[in-house]
Amino acid sequence: MAEIRRPSSSSTVLDTLGEEIVRIITPVSICMFLVVILVSILNTNDSPTISTIANIAYDETTSDSSWDKFLGALLNSLSFVVVVTFTTFFLVLLFYFRCIRFLKLYMAFSSFVVLGFLGGEISVFLIQHFSTPIDCITFSIVLVNFAVVGVCAVFMSKMAIFVTQGYLVVIGILVAYWFTMLPEWTTWAMLVAMALYDLAAVLLPVGPLRLLVELAISRDEEIPALVYEARPVSNDRLDDVAARRRLWRERRIENSNLITENENPVLGGSGLNAEQSHSNQDANAVVSSNSNRSASNLDSSSSYGPCNLVKAEEGRVQVRETDSDLATPLLGHGNVRVPIGEDAASNENLMLEGIGLASSGAIKLGLGDFIFYSVLVGRAAMYDFMTVYACYLAIIAGLGITLMLLAFYQKALPALPVSIALGVLFYFLTRLLLEVFVVQCSLNLLMF
């Protein structure tokens, strides 16, 4: 297991970006590859479509006109996004009221259903396709053990990181394959709609995902969700995470107090109450008690923080007294600096710094991103493998662009929009233009 390394303050963002991208692209590629294999093996022209919440408003048939399919696909995608939005806000409400145990049990039950029922159904398809001899008792025992161990690996106990990662990829594969059984027009409309939803949910101030992340940071709590972690989190860094979050919360309260002071000039220039003065004295005491240790690492002549470090050890918090303390390094960079004295608008952006991937420095990607990436290439595999190659390269390029934007802008960004936009664009360009060109070249014995 590789040790988590952070570059020195003289390194740049791009020094470790390649390694970070490879660590997240590898499981995404494996998930997409296995979905393409399942689609190629199990899906045929006469394969039945499934009835889910994604096609509850309109049931597409081959006899419908293109316009009817388009309108029906829009209606299905709108219904699906509305259901996902209300469900996400409901989960935010449960998290707000600290129903953490219920959320964990719900996630564990969902994982068990996916591994047990969806996994069992796909296993039956594969057994029938390859005519594999197996009895019902053995199959049931293996399936139940597989599902239970998967739930324990993801939620209930701490296992080896590669076991947890493997089960998360399997969950993504199973769900993505079932989504590929939706009608074609509904699938494409749903992909575009979910990319737009992801953009709004993360970036809008009232977006449910943004509210959920802000609430988790303000409470020093982890969000119970299916999230793939590209590398393990060292136990030695857990105190660092808590310290950063405490500092974020204290600075936010401090900024609100300054705003209140400015809006009430009656208080005068030194109009702080006793509680605020006491908290400021405590903060100054903490900083002064660690000034000797931090002086060797901090250049007093610079108004920037070269590296954002907060270390909690034995009840003491070591901080660097700059506004960049609020930023948690995502990719361990050292040259992205935040100047002192920025306005309220930039302070608002600081609230989400360090949350885009993981506050511990590990890259994290939601399992929904795995699923919809794989749905796109799975749907492309139903047409031609040339479109699969094009869509795969487009998705990987979009994911790389998103990770680079995350590294530079240091704020939470959605992972779906860029990759889905490029994937859909390359699919139709390949299907309508490149395939015709390649076929004509092949028929005329031309090579390029």
Q: Which of the residues are catalytic?
A: 198, 369
Cα separation, 367 vs 349, in Å, equals: 25
